[in-house]
Structure 1
Amino acid sequence: MSDSQDQTAFDSNDLQFDDFELEDFDADVPAAATTATATRNLDFFKNIPVTVTLEVASKEIALGDLMTAGEGSIIELDKLNGEPLDVKVNGSLMGHAEVVVVNDKYGLRLIDVVESALTSMGQ
């Protein structure tokens, strides 16, 4: 038989953690260093591209009704004329806005921003 079968199993009582002071592990790091690190990490995320979408309205309809729709058909949507439009970032609601025209291009003017992780991240 080999010597490896004669070895005993690992015993957790053999470990001695009494010499470690884990409570004070982070005490040596100055507060300014952790703040600078957090700011630097947020700066990294500021360069990640996201898709901003202005959603006019929507409607859930049966596929059969959609298949019968043709040129000139009208599908009534769930938003009233004049209501603020939904602004979504990567599919998640960010807030509400109205459409504006800037230099012959469409734009949006934010009316309100939904409280979320997105708004608290930049603060």
Structure 2
Amino acid sequence: MKKILFIVPLLAILFMASAMTGCRFAKSYEDGDTVAASVFEPEDTTITATKRRHTAAKAAAIVKDSADIYYVGDGSNRQFLQLVSYPSKRDTLVYGKTRHVKVKGSADFGRVVRVRFYLLNGTDSLVSGVEEVKL
């Protein structure tokens, strides 16, 4: 009987120790807040209005290209004139030349020029004159 009194508490202690260590290695799922709080709250219109005003101000601050003023592009040859928009250099246009192009100043590659166009058949444009712009 004395052996049972020693074995039962010993088995109980071993069982509790194994149960406690077994739980330590189990995966824990901490879900936390799975949905953002902004889903449940209405949108603040004052913040969106100021954001719209700032984006409108930024759009207005974008540099606008000058009319009929271009850089002479590297892709120009005897038949075509490549024009790159001034000052942003975002747009590239290729126009054909008329038979005689009147040039005032220098029309070398990379120069800033003002261009005169000749309207052909009401739809197509040809370059009829190039004038260097001194900045």
Length-normalised TM-score, structure 1: 0.35
Indicate the structure (1 or 2) with the bigger Cα radius of gyration.
2
More strand by share: 2
Length-normalised TM-score, structure 2: 0.33
